[in-house]
Amino acid sequence: MTDQSITDQNTSAEKPWGGRFTEPTDAFVERFTASVGFDQRLYHHDITGSIAHATMLAEVGVLTAQERDTIIEGLKGVKADIEAGRFEWSVSLEDVHMNIEAKLTERIGITGKKLHTGRSRNDQVATDIRLYLRDEIDVIAAELNRLQSGLLDLAEREAATIMPGFTHLQTAQPVTFGHHLLAWYEMLVRDADRLQDCRKRVNVMPLGAAALAGTTYPIDRSITAKLLGFDRPSENSLDSVSDRDFAIEFCGFAALLMTHLSRFSEELVLWTSAQFDFIDLPDRFCTGSSIMPQKKNPDVPELVRGKTGRVNGHLISLLTLMKSQPLAYNKDNQEDKEPLFDTVDTVKGCLKAYADMIPAIEAKADNMRVAAKRGFSTATDLADYLVKKGVAFRDAHEIVGKAVGFGVAEGRDLSEMTTEELARFSDVIGEDVFDVLTLDGSVQARDHLGGTAPNQVRAAVARARKGR
């Protein structure tokens, strides 16, 4: 449903809470305070929670079995109408909860008005959001896992592909492309851990807290919690209706995930440029220019990089929303949904794009290798070689610096110099120096846990697939 299907009729005097009021809500205020334009996406979770609530009320004797069955069938009918596009959302009914309850009462009569016994919209919406976010977390976790699997496959395929490793975006030491990809994978491992940790705190049920103090009805919250798949009911009614930590925590996870995807994006954008030319992205993930026919723009990485600011903004929005709120529920909390919903949508879209794109990356191994030869990337290997020959590290550092200076002047890499030329800088240098000055020798020498050697990359991939 979109907000285009929402009616704007003013029936304020007929609102469920209207008994205390002597005049209808101002038409502008009604539109200004309504949330049905965006919270209608909670309809499935609202109805699921209501079915569980009605079931519990019957278990404790507040509703009869007949009333329970009538309510549940009515709610299923309302859900069918929504999903078939036959449901007319009304601004005058403010939110998803009152729209559904009003339609239920219209369908089944006065029994529909008994559904709200023992609860408030305060604990109802808190429950709906948790049910919604729990489901979305599971979808996001699956997409995150798919992206991780794609990275592992690509890392294994490129385990021996040599590229320059960078610090300060300057050539530092040779690494394997597979090792670089596994660095991305490690970021996502932490993201996945954070997401599952967040889910634990999402999966606590506030229903039964009512408006803020609980209810006088003999409810059994453990029944409702079990029916809805929550780990447990919440402990304190005041906190239950006003807590949005779980939404902030999810957005914190999302901001870090998007920061990682933004870092991936920056490298992909650089690597696809003519200046680097390390990889090729399939045409289906790129667009062209309306004026420059030669252009192939990496729009997916660029857009993901840009959407990071959007998600970061939502995190700040929720933190600011909650920073000065007194207990318990306040109308401010209506503003939690749009940032949360957009964060969920953005994260899902970005993960899908990346999970589809990463396995399709084609490495230009020859270009990477040529680039790794530039910038004296094996200089540290030469210093280590000298240290192993008995030269103090600080002296070795100076010796190699002079050798690099000579190479800059001559326009040649260390590996392109002769033994005699290198021996000018230290008489301990012999023919065996070329075992470490080659790119392959350099990466093979990093043969330890966490190192860039191809067999270490393959071993890391195997451990990751086994769950370590």
Residues with catalytic annotation? 168, 289
Omega of the bond prior to 328 within 30 degrees of 0, cis?
Answer: yes
Q: φ and ψ at 422, to 5 degrees?
A: -70, -35
Query: In 10 A of CB 440, how many CB atoms?
Result: 13
By C-alpha distance, which of 55, 60, 52 is closest to 220? 60
Q: Which residues contact 455 (CB under 8 A, 6 or more apart)?
A: 159, 447
Inter-residue contact 172 to 371 (CB < 8 Å): no
The three-class DSSP label of residue 286 is: coil
Pairing of strands 6-7, 89-90: parallel
Cα torsion through 446, 449, 452, 456, rounded to 10: 110
DSSP assigned state of 93: G
Which has the closest alpha carbon to 124: 18, 63, 212? 212
Q: Tokens 């929720």 label which residue?
A: 318
Measured in whole angstroms, the distance separating CA 56 from the mean position of its chain's CA atoms is 35
**Are 354 and 304 within 8 A, CB to CB?**
yes
Where do the H-state alpha helices sit in 22-120? 27-33, 36-39, 43-59, 65-83, 96-108
Measured distance CA(54)–CA(47) in Å, rounded: 10
Q: Which residues contact 360 (CB under 8 A, 6 or more apart)?
A: 281, 282, 285
